[in-house]
Amino acid sequence: MTTLRYSATDPDLDLLYARLADRSLQPLWEMTGLLTAEPRVRGVPFRWSGADLRELGNAAGELVPVDRGGDRRVLACCNPGLDGAPYAVSTLWAAVQYLRGHEIAPAHRHTPAALRFVVEGSGVWTLVDGDPLQMGAGDLVLTPSWTFHQHHNPGAEPMVWMDVLDLPVVAALDAVFFETGPSAEPDTRTAARSTSEQWFGGGPGLVPVDGPLLPPRHSPLLAYRWADTDRALASLVATSGTGHATLRYSDPVRGGDVMPTMRCEIARVLPGTTTDAVRQTGGRVCCVLHGTGHVTIGDQQFAVSPGDILAVPSWTPWSVAATTEIDLFSTSDAPVLEALGLMRAENLTTGQRTIGARS
């Protein structure tokens, strides 16, 4: 926030400032905190415990119904440094969503894009523009901007997952639109494999020649399955020689990020390995899929276990130290920073600095 520091004693100056204020004008020369040498980061390093999220999701499931009016049973992660705003970091919404057996979270769409990452369980289908995407542990499922989405749980077991949305960015641009589904009737179809995966999830480096027209701004593949991710991680970590490896989820046809505002990555860190301390502009939200150890963010060290959600604010160094093998999913707003020419990154272990996009 900028602050004004009027300390005028000159009555003429007092009068000028009063006249400026009266016309909704402010003198730059009296402002501080506007152009800081480095980002003045809103939001603090933080961890939400997976055990707490599961327990409190359960408690909400007992008490709060899901239907029109209360569409989504969602607990938003609120970074304590953001003055009560329901955001995990200043640019990303992160939350846990809880759907009991036989429940339906009705269809709607909005301009903020969303993604789901599942830590445990299965049994829910998310319909994205009518395409039924099954959700299971370790899967990443996309609901890009302005696609209709509906979640339904045909089985008896409850299911929990993490949602991440670019809502703070879209809200800052005053570009939030929302509408409810085209039909009042819920669509309870299921499928073993979505149409999106049948077209675009064939295999590494294989894409259809005569496929459907590509959506202009997001990956045509809407689900990234754990079996594929696990295989790719195992292969990469075995060859990296460092004890850790990170994959980026990409648009299988165009190679870019899965959605224009959010980058998704997953890291595997072998036991006894610590990753370099790195920082970059833009916020990041992490979710522990497997394993235990410590994540250091800024000057805070958090013990982590599966289901934990972590906030890495902009320009804050972070690193992972694995006690048992860790798989750590993360989402950042790197594509936004890169598109705007604002990406800066630094590896504090090697001293390497970059300005601009790396690939």
List residues near ligand GTQ by CB under 6 A. Answer: 72, 74, 95, 97, 114, 149, 163, 165
What's the sign of the alpha-carbon dihedral 245, 249, 253, 258?
negative
Rounded Cα distance, 233 and 244, in Å: 9
- Non-local (6+) Cβ contacts of 140 within 8 A are 115, 116, 117, 223, 224, 229, 249, 258, 264, 329
Q: What are phi and psi of 47, to 5 degrees?
A: -130, 130
Q: How far is the CB of 221 from ligand GTQ (least distance, A)?
A: 19
Q: Which is nearer to ligand GTQ, 74 or 348 (CB)?
A: 74
Give the CA count within 13 Å in the CB-facing half-sphere of 29: 4
Q: How far is the CB of 97 from ligand GTQ (least distance, A)?
A: 6
> Residues, the chain, total?
359
Residue nearest to ligand GTQ (CB): 163
Rounded Cα distance, 238 and 244, in Å: 9
Q: Which is nearer to ligand GTQ, 170 or 288 (CB)?
A: 170
Q: How far is the CB of 338 from ligand GTQ (least distance, A)?
A: 25
Q: Which is nearer to ligand GTQ, 163 or 333 (CB)?
A: 163
Q: How far is the CB of 24 from ligand GTQ (least distance, A)?
A: 35
Q: Which is nearer to ligand GTQ, 6 or 177 (CB)?
A: 177
Q: How far is the CB of 116 from ligand GTQ (least distance, A)?
A: 7
Q: Which is nearer to ligand GTQ, 145 or 275 (CB)?
A: 145
Q: Which is nearer to ligand GTQ, 127 or 165 (CB)?
A: 165
**Closest listed residue to residue 169, CA positions, set 1, 2, 333, 38:** 333
Strand 223-224 with 140-143, pairing: antiparallel
Q: How far is the CB of 74 from ligand GTQ (least distance, A)?
A: 4
